[in-house]
Structure 1
């Protein structure tokens, strides 16, 4: 009989990322893959910094970038977030489907650029805002509608790569 996480990793449904762990991941991580639909149907993705704020995920970009231009015709996105680069152990992944809104309003720009800068450059957020604040600057708000996939190797009996977890040795 095959033992999940030790002999195989076929069915990962038992090791999804739990709600509390999703929130922790979103609080720890600052980058994700932002997947959007290009004209002609090809999906595309870019790595972007983000801020999780009041249930939404916020990004900043420039109006003529492919991801911003594409949102005008199709606001559906998928955000793929992992724990890579954080201090969190194991491998965690969360794929969130969402609907994006591009904001150009000065009040929203001022508020969200400062919030994003405070998260990404806490030593001097205003210096980062000065760098970011350009004529074509926008902020993108993504409202999550579903989790399409998640994974948490810490919930497996092994390390997910054929060896025992470090805390089991």
Structure 2
């Protein structure tokens, strides 16, 4: 950090770079999936996700409260936080259920990917998990989401340490 004044309130340089974001999305894992109640309150749960072709895919039992909520109000948000990197997305969700056109193809792809049978086809646990997912009242939620903010806390920590060492900070 140079001797010149640094704007500690401007965190634009703390953005997660495109490669790190792509790596985080490709890895899949868990996210916080958010929607709103009919009273307008935000609610979120931790769920597993698969990111494919610019969309997030998650699943749950059809009886979960998020299902009718998303059918009424498709606006949703997704937050991923892993290894000091975080990304927040917003978008619209579509609930896919048994009997919908194309559901059989979607569930075959999604359950295979989510269970990681595609990566370990001979693993009995993975095969069993894939079968477990395929229940008659399970839905798949597809969310076409746009990035809102991606943040790298490691960059932020370095920046903060350098600013403190230079004697700069919030007044």
TM-score (norm 2): 0.77
**8 Å contact from structure 1 (residues 51, 119) kept in 2:** no
Which one has a bigger Cα radius of gyration? 2
Match of 1:25 in 2: 24
Task: Answer 1 or 2: which has greater helix percent.
Answer: 2
**Where in structure 1 do 4 or more consecutive aligned residues deviate above 3 Å?**
1-4, 119-124, 154-157
Superposed CA RMSD in Å reads 2.5
TM-score norm. by structure 1 comes to 0.78
Aligned length: 152
Quote the residue 1:54 is aligned against.
Answer: 53
Per-residue deviation, residues 68-105 of structure 1 (Å, max 9, x unmatched): 22110111111000114xxxxxx211001121111122
Structure 1 unmatched ranges of 5 or more: 85-90, 165-169
* 1:1-169 → structure 2 map (5 Å cutoff): 3=6, 8=8, 10-84=9-83, 91-104=84-97, 105-118=103-116, 122=120, 123=123, 124-144=125-145, 146-156=146-156, 158=158, 160=160, 162=161
- 1:12-66: CA deviations, max 9, x gaps? 1221112222101112340010011111101100001001112211111111112
Please, which moves more after superposition, 32-41 or 99-108?
Answer: 99-108
Q: Deviations over 1:81-136 (max 9, x none)?
A: 0114xxxxxx2110011211111223322221112111799444321022222121
